[in-house]
C-alpha cells in the first residue's frame, strides 16, 4: 500500500474509519480536552439492569 492510497481502519465493533475521520480525531486530541468537563461527566451513566440471580460484583 502506498502513501497515496487511502487507508481504512475497522474498529472492533465493525465501524469503518477512513483517513479523514482519523485525522479529525487526531486534530481534536491535539487541541486538548477539557478535563474538568470529562470528570464532571464521570459516573452519570445509569448502571446496567441486573438479571435475577446474577452474582453481585465484589
Residues of the chain with confidence (pLDDT) below 70: 1-3, 6, 44-58
**By residue range, what is the domain housing residue 28?**
8-41
Q: 55 to each of 28, 41, 50, how far by Cα in Å?
A: 40, 28, 9
Q: Kindly state whether residue 13 falls inside one of the protein's structural domains.
A: yes
CA 6 to CA 20: how far, in whole Å? 9
How many separate domains does the chain show?
A: 1
Provide the b/e sequence for 1-10 (b: ≥16 CB within 10 Å).
eeeeeeeeee
User: Residue 33 domain-assigned?
Assistant: yes
Q: Tell me whether residue 1 is in a domain.
A: no
Task: Determine, yes or no, domain membership for 30.
Answer: yes
Whole-angstrom Cα distance, residue 35 to residue 40? 9
The answer to the question of residue 31 being in a domain is yes
Per-residue pLDDT, 11: 86
Q: Hey, which residues does 10 pair with through a beta bridge?
A: 16
Question: pTM score, two decimals?
Answer: 0.47
pLDDT at 56: 60
What is the per-residue pLDDT across 28-44, written as a single tens digit (0 to 9) for each? 999 998 888 878 877 76
Amino acid at each position: 500500500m502506498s502513501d497515496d492510497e487511502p487507508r481504512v481502519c475497522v474498529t472492533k465493533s465493525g465501524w469503518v474509519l477512513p483517513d479523514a475521520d482519523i485525522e479529525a480525531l487526531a486534530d481534536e486530541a491535539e487541541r486538548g480536552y477539557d478535563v474538568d468537563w470529562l470528570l464532571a461527566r464521570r459516573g452519570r451513566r445509569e448502571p446496567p439492569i441486573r438479571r435475577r440471580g446474577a452474582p453481585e460484583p465484589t
